[in-house]
Each structure stands twice: as C-alpha cells, then as structure tokens.
Structure 1
Amino acid sequence: MILGTAPGLADAREAVFWTDRPGRPGPFPALTGRAEADLVVVGGGFTGLWAAIMAKEEYPGTDVLLLEASTIGFGGSGRNGGFISDSLTHGLSHGASRWPSELKTLVRLGRENLTEIVETLDRHEADVGLRLTGKTTVAVAPHQVGELRALERLHLEHGDDAVWLDAEEMRADVDSPTYLGGLRVRSTGGLVDPGLLVDALTRIAERLGVRLHERTPVTGMARAGAGLRVATGNGSVIAGQVLLATNAYPAPLRRLRHLVLPVWDYALMTEPLSPPQLASLGWRERQGLTDAGNQFHYYRLTSDDRILWGGYDAIYHRGGTVDDHEARRPASYALLARHFFETFPQLEGLGFSHRWGGAIDSTSRFTATFGTAFGGRVGYAVGYTGLGVAASRFGARVALDLLARRATESTALKMVRRSPAPFPPEPLRWPIVELTRRALVRADRREGRRGPWLRLLDAFGVGFNS
C-alpha cells in the first residue's frame, strides 16, 4: 500500500513526536583529541544518563564523561511509548515463569526503583508528565480472557490493585467494539513523556558536572596501563572504568552483539482529538492500554489529547541493521493505521501527525543482561526489550555496583548473575528469528495454542511467553 493512501497518513511527518520540539538541551560538542576521565559512559539514553547521574551523586568528585554516537535520547529512550513500569522482569507472569524463587524480591526491587525515580525527579523539580495511573491490558480474542483472569490472580497475590472488567465494564471505561474484557491494574506504574524525561535527565547530569559529548561514536576499547583507552571517531579517552549503555546499537564489546537482538518497532501519533472525539472514547482515567496478543498494540493519550498508537509489527532486519532508513517502512505504518480505526471506528477521519520507528534491544529471555569485562573495568546493562523506561535506572545501578565490586541484593540475583542464551550468528539468526515470529503469529490465530517450536523455546527459558 502507498503510504499516502492509508487511512489518516497523508500528512504524517516522519519525525519522533516526543523530540520534535524546540528548547531541548544541547547540542553538545563532539569529542576531539585526547581526554581523560574516571568513568566513561557509552550511550546517551536512559541507562547512560542514569548511570552518569548516580555516579556523580554518590561521588561528586568523580570525573564522568558521557559519549553518545548520535544525539542524546536518539534511540529507544526518545522513541518509546512512554509507559513506565515497576517491573524488572518484563511483566509479572514472565518473572513468575523465569525466577519464581526470587519473584518477591524482584517485585519489591522494581517498586523501590520506581519510587526512587519519582524521588529523584521531585528533588530536581523536573516536570516530565509523569502520571502513575497504572495500565489496562485488554482481551481482543476469547482465549485472552482466561489468560488475563489468571494474571489478575497473580497480581492480587503480590498486593497489586488489580481488577477484571468484563466486556461491558471495559467498554464503559474505554469504548472499543474489539474489547472482550480487560485487566485494570492501577498500582504498577503509569505514563511519562519520554522526551521530557530525556531532557530532564540531561539537564540534571549537566548540572552535576557530567561532561556530555554528542556525535562521538566509540570505535573500540583496549587496555591502557591500569585503565582503558576508549577510541572515538576523532579522539580517544583514557578511562579508569567504562559503562556500556548502548542497548540496541552495536557495542564495542563483542559478546554483547551475541546477546542483544535489535528489533524494530513502529508508532503513529494522531492529531489532537476534539472534545466530542475524546468523549466518544470515555477513557476518563487516561491510563495506558495494551492488548494481550503475542503481536500487541500499545497506546495512550498525551497531554494535548493525541493518541499514540504503536507496536504489533516487531521486525528484525537481516544482519541486525539499525540504520535509520529502516524507520521508513510504509507497510508497518499502513497496518497500524488500519488497526487503529478497527479499534476506534468512532474516530474515522482523524489524521496522524507523526510516524516513526526505532530499534528495541531484546535478549532471548526478554530481560536485561548485566556483566563486566576487561578484568572488571567495563560494566554493562543492556536488553530491556521495550520495558526499559524505569528498568534502565535499575540496570544502571547494577552496572555501577558491578564496577565497584559491591555485593548487593541486586547483584546477587540470578537474573544478574546469569546471562541469557546467545542468539545464533548470521546467516542462521534471521531465519530462526523469522521462524519464531511466524510461530507467535500462528499462536495468536490458534486461540493461544503454542506449537512445537515455541514449546521448545519455553523449555530452554527463552522469553517468548511474556
């Protein structure tokens, strides 16, 4: 389908809504020549910014230098839907299936992590559009009703404010003819403006004395005496320690390229809804919503009454490319637009103002991986699989603890101590990922029944059951 002929897309700009605004901090200079630092942070997304902030808050005298290959917030941190969750395990059911003996600890640590995010933002008087309204997951196929009822019981066991809404109650809350019911959980997070959050963390880091450099790709690392030499396009840094926060983008550490799979996600943003259009939906609590399929949509209202609508297509491009031209995928935008109007037919005629895509850093178990290299001089936390808005702060904390050789409750977790299964190299990687994607699509079409390939992956602890 030609993009301009898809419903509502004729005037959609190819730009990220959250960062398509004036008054953002920066630009920051590229690093040229030689420099020195106690800690070099590689990556200017949420993980890198949180790591730089926490390092400076803990030890103000530490010389922290942050290197970003593009612009700060360029990757998933500036392109996501703005769902902020207290989960560290890609959802409660996934945590229960993977780390049942540690689940209570993981739930508590996730809640503490979200509380500490709120406290930090309050302390720095940062307005990032944060609203802890929870989330609703809707059933759009009969088998999803039973799955969500089971998830309701799990949430209640862990003290969450969770309630099942039948089809009539769900449509009274948010009106769509596709809804068969929904699980409303009010206690597990909410929504944030990710662009404002990136900007706020950038300003906090700058005020604390972090040296920020954009347009500075890291091309390699090597030992240099008691430290490391970090090579960049036009210079180098001698660092005592390095923290890698590259997420979906290639890291200067080969092992991470086997642990992280870059998966492309696509999103649309509507024009602002008129008062009658908004009233036709209900949506009085303005919470974020997702549907319960393997291929799922996520959507939410913005402060100016637009609807962000994303997800469903999760595309791995052969060779793992993260080049920005992959954002130009007319078929994905057209599919999203069609699904939007199927979900909300009362909004027919509404236009989309923005369309964009971005790479998500997934691991084989759908949760972050942590570790050290170069004799403990390099630490890393990558692989949040789309739930990193809050979990990235936890990841940054763990990576800093690993660099400091601190034995903490978090570093003792199995999720931290054990790495996920590596992805196979190309040319095997693409057909295996494609086989898995098609198996997930078939499961959605067969009332959730998982075929032999997905059951095999489940047996090996691969994260496709979340």
Structure 2
Amino acid sequence: MAPSAMTPKNRFTTALADAQPVAYWLDDPGKPRAEPALTGAESCDLLVVGGGYSGLWTALIAKERDPQRDVVLLEGREVGWAASGRNGGFCAASLTHGLANGLARWPGEIEQLEQLGARNLDAIEEAVARYGIDCDFERTGEIDVATEPHQVEELREMHTESQRLGLDGGTEFLDADQVKAELASPTFLAGIWDREGVAMLHPAKLAWGLKRACLDLGVRIYENTPANTLTQHGAGMAVRTPYGRVLAHQVALGTNVFPSLVKRIRPYTVPVYDYALMTEPLTESQLDSIGWKNRQGIGDSANQFHYFRITADNRILWGGYDAIYPYGGKVRAEYDHRPETYAKLAGHFFRCFPQLEGLRFTHTWGGAIDTCSRFSAFFGTAHSGRVAYAAGFTGLGVGATRFGADVMLDLLSGEQTDRTTLQMVRNKPLPFPPEPFAWTGISLTKWSLARADANGGRRNPWLKTLDRFGLGFDS
C-alpha cells in the first residue's frame, strides 16, 4: 500500500516498528548489580519488606531517625524493578491525588494536607542533594491542560476555588494562547500551571540512588529474596524467605500492588495496568516546533487522561489513557505489554503533536499500580502494632511514598504526630468486593467515565452514586 493510501492507524503505528518492549528507565547500562539473596537466618530491629520507593524511603528515614537502629530490607526481585522503575517520573507534592479529590474527602484537613505535601516534596529534593542522587531532578512543575471546552470551565472553577481557600500557591491559569506558548499543540485550550508542586525525575535512578544511600547508612539489603510468610515470634515477628528467615522486633510493609503479608488488607487494593511510550531524542528543529522551554510535566483533564513529559536527553514520554483492570485482580508479567494500547497511544500522540509526525518510538512498556477506592494512600498496623503498612498510592507513589514511610515509622513508634492524627491516616477506604462484582463495577465505571468525556463532562447516575459515597476508579 502506498504511503498516501495508508490509514491513520497504520501511519501512526509505523512509529512503533523498532520499539523495544522494555521500560526506558530500566534499560540503562548504569543499573547497579543486585545484592546477594538472603541465605540462612537474620535478625534486626526493623525489617522492611519491599525494595520500591515505599520500602527504600522507610529504611532510609529509619536510619536517619536513629543511626543505631538495625535495619534489614528484603526485595523479591531487584530494587526498583516494578512500579518504582516504570512510572512517568512525575514527583508530586499532592498526597490526595489532586486538590479536588482532597477537598471532596478531607475538606477540614486540606490545608494541612497541602502543607505536609509541600514539605514532603521539599524533603525529597533535599535528600536527592544530600545523598548525591543523580536522577535528573528538575522542579519545573506541571500543567493540567484542557482539551475540551467543558474542561476549560472546570479548570477555571478549580483555580478560582483554590484561590478563595488560599491553596493556589504557585499556580497560574493559562488561556489558550498562554498554554500553547509553553507547549505548542493544536489540542490545548487552557491550562493550570502548578509551578512549585511537581518535579520531574528519572524514576529508576531515584530508586538506585536510594538503595546506595541505604547501604551507605548500614541497611542490609537482600535482593531476589521474596518474603513468603509473616508470623508472630515471641515479642517480635518472623518472616520466612525461600532460603532463610528474618526475626525482627518490627516490620514495615512496602509491597503496595503485590499481595500483602497482612491478608485482611488485600481487598483494599486492586492492580490497574498503565502503559507508556518513549520517543527517540528530538532534533533541534523538532524541539523548536513544540517549544517546551520550561520543561514542565503535562497532564490532560479528561477522565481517561494522558500524562507526558520531556526527559533529560529530550525524549518525550507519553502514557496513560487506558487503565486496565484484569479480571481477578492478578499481577502477572503477561499483562505488562498491550500492543493495542500502544497503537492507541501512538495515534493520540500524533494528534496532539502533528508537527512531530515521523518521530519514532524506542520503548514501550506497562506495569501495575496499586489502586484503592479513594485514590490516595491508606495506612495502618497489625499484630499488636508490631507491623505497619502503607498502600493504595494510585499513581502518586513517586512523592507520596516518602510521606507514607514517615507515617509507618510514626505508627511503629507509637508516637502521636501531625501525620498520625490525620483522618486520612486514621481512616481506611472501602474495600473492593469479590469477583465478579469488582470486575463488573470497575468496567461499568470505566465505561461511564469514557461517556462523560464524550458528553461534555456530564456524569451519569452511576458516577453520581459513586461520588455520593466517595468511591470511584482512577482511569
């Protein structure tokens, strides 16, 4: 078929011809070698289970709080291999999945939550500098863009409300000309630029840098060591691994999307698979055609939204839109790639940036995110306070996991802090129902959200019912 006769779908998907099915961030020759697996018996003051951001921040902060504390970290594969190494690299201050979600759920605490989130992001930036973590950290902010007329009014109303409440620190409403001056796309109609509340970074390098910082502070890390069981042992806890056992006074669980060792917590999260593309580096003329001099992260305002950002070597990461829940809520490697989603994303990319047609994609990948019914993390303890957990970060784990680490350590210490007194920390979301009800409800919600996007943002009775009970599904 001659190029002029090609369908748009075929024309766009040719850009995927040479793409490697691997996360760009993890496809790095500088990836550190894995630490040896645990063989035999270990004992410690604090055992951290999970080598993603949640576990790494917990281990690091535990040593910062008390350098004499004996800390062990177990990772089932390699540090940063899952969501921590596969995300978009947006590090947000928000602890509530955005101001609107926070206002709807915790209106009496929103000012404090916003302040804690800003302090948490500052602390991440300080840790990156203190430990010399080379992770391409850029505090360039994020622009939420409107691509449909009803979204313009929604953004304007949210910005007005945040100004009225004094929660608009560093944000600016942009009209169509202003937003296109920041990033040239014919699809952009308006935007809100949060100048201070989001940083861009290389997510895998952040995880690897945190690993090195933990090791330097004396944390003992065992990789390729899954934690199989968790039981009480005397005054502490015992965790069995394939080749050994760890006895610990206390345990912090940072396993997130993977089945919790505290089984009663499992119904509170479901895995949702998210997918992304990465382009080849843009040429100077391609960069000139889109602008993007201030290098902000971008997210559109639809229910089925895209997120995109520019990397240190001037590639564009383009992800989101499809959020796939597998029946039964299983986490499996076979779900990590979805060619039909890659094809859809490629088409969306070139509709957003028609001036970049001819650009090629070099990497395609996906992975599971732990989602809960309130779109933001929840916390708690088990085994008479010997075990703490944090889960349900719903795509905001790059930043919020550090806050979750502080919460877990506060809970294990038994101390009352400005974090542990929050309703957000003290209360849990509603659990998901068993199958087939979970799949049916999530599928109906996704369909309804897509319909709302197509119908001027109008929410049908199903979505209004979910809103009334504070439930939903992040699409």
Same fold (TM over 0.5): yes
Q: CA deviation at 1:127?
A: 2.4
Q: Is the 8 A contact 1:457 1:464 kept in 2?
A: no
Q: Is the 8 A contact 2:445 2:472 kept in 1?
A: no
456, 461, 466: which one aligns with 1:447: 456
21, 25, 28: which one aligns with 1:14: 21
Structure 1 residue ranges (4+ consecutive) displaced by more than 6 angstroms after TM superposition: 1-5
Q: CA deviation at 1:236?
A: 1.3
Q: Which residue of 1 aligns with 2:447?
A: 438
Q: Is the 8 A contact 1:25 1:203 kept in 2?
A: no
| Backbone CA RMSD of aligned residues | 1.6
Question: How does 1:158-237 map onto structure 2 within 5 Å?
Answer: 158-237=167-246
Give the direction of change, closer, same or farther, for the CA distance of 1:436–1:126 in structure 2 (3 Å limit): same
Q: CA deviation at 1:139?
A: 0.5
Question: How does 1:26-37 map onto structure 2 within 5 Å?
Answer: 26-37=33-44
Q: Is the 8 A contact 1:93 1:154 kept in 2?
A: no
Q: CA deviation at 1:296?
A: 0.3
Could you tell me which amino acid in structure 2 is paired with residue 375 of structure 1?
A: S
- Residues of 2 paired with 1:114 and 1:238: CA distance? 33
- Structure 1 residue 369 and structure 2 residue 394: aligned? no
Percent pairwise identity: 51
SS in structure 2 at match of 1:13: coil
Q: CA deviation at 1:168?
A: 2.0
CA deviation profile, 1:286-319 (whole Å, cap 9, x unmatched): 1000000000000000011100000000000011
Q: Which residue of 1 aligns with 2:336?
A: 327
Give the direction of change, closer, same or farther, for the CA distance of 1:4–1:277 in structure 2 (3 Å limit): closer
Q: CA deviation at 1:446?
A: 1.1
- Residues of 2 paired with 1:162 and 1:225: CA distance? 53
Q: Which residue of 2 aligns with 1:128?
A: 135
Q: Which residue of 1 aligns with 2:4?
A: none
CA deviation profile, 1:225-274 (whole Å, cap 9, x unmatched): 11111011222111111100011111111122111111000000000000
Could you tell me which amino acid in structure 1 is paired with residue 49 of structure 2?
A: V
Could you tell me which amino acid in structure 1 is paired with residue 39 of structure 2?
A: T
Q: Which residue of 2 aligns with 1:423?
A: 432
CA deviation profile, 1:73-105 (whole Å, cap 9, x unmatched): 011111110111111111111111110000111
Q: CA deviation at 1:26?
A: 2.7
Q: Which residue of 1 aligns with 2:289?
A: 280
Could you tell me which amino acid in structure 1 is paired with residue 59 of structure 2?
A: A
Unaligned runs of 5+ in 2: 1-6
Say how many residue pairs are matched.
466
CA deviation profile, 1:40-68 (whole Å, cap 9, x unmatched): 11110111000000111111121111111
Q: Under a length normalisation based on structure 1, what TM-score does the superposition of the two structures give?
A: 0.97
Could you tell me which amino acid in structure 2 is paired with residue 300 of structure 1?
A: R
Could you tell me which amino acid in structure 1 is paired with residue 362 of structure 2?
A: S
Query: Which segment is superposed worse, 14-23 or 118-127?
Result: 118-127
Q: Is the 8 A contact 1:7 1:338 kept in 2?
A: no
- Structure 1 residue 460 and structure 2 residue 472: aligned? no
Q: Is the 8 A contact 1:68 1:213 kept in 2?
A: yes
Query: Which segment is superposed worse, 317-326 or 283-292?
Result: 317-326
Q: Which residue of 2 aligns with 1:311?
A: 320
Q: Is the 8 A contact 2:446 2:473 kept in 1?
A: no
370, 387, 396: which one aligns with 1:387: 396
Q: Is the 8 A contact 1:293 1:444 kept in 2?
A: yes
- Residues of 2 paired with 1:311 and 1:154: CA distance? 27
115, 121, 126: which one aligns with 1:114: 121
298, 305, 315: which one aligns with 1:289: 298
Q: Is the 8 A contact 1:136 1:288 kept in 2?
A: yes
404, 422, 437: which one aligns with 2:413: 404
Could you tell me which amino acid in structure 2 is paired with residue 392 of structure 1?
A: T
Q: CA deviation at 1:38?
A: 1.2
Q: Is the 8 A contact 1:7 1:334 kept in 2?
A: no
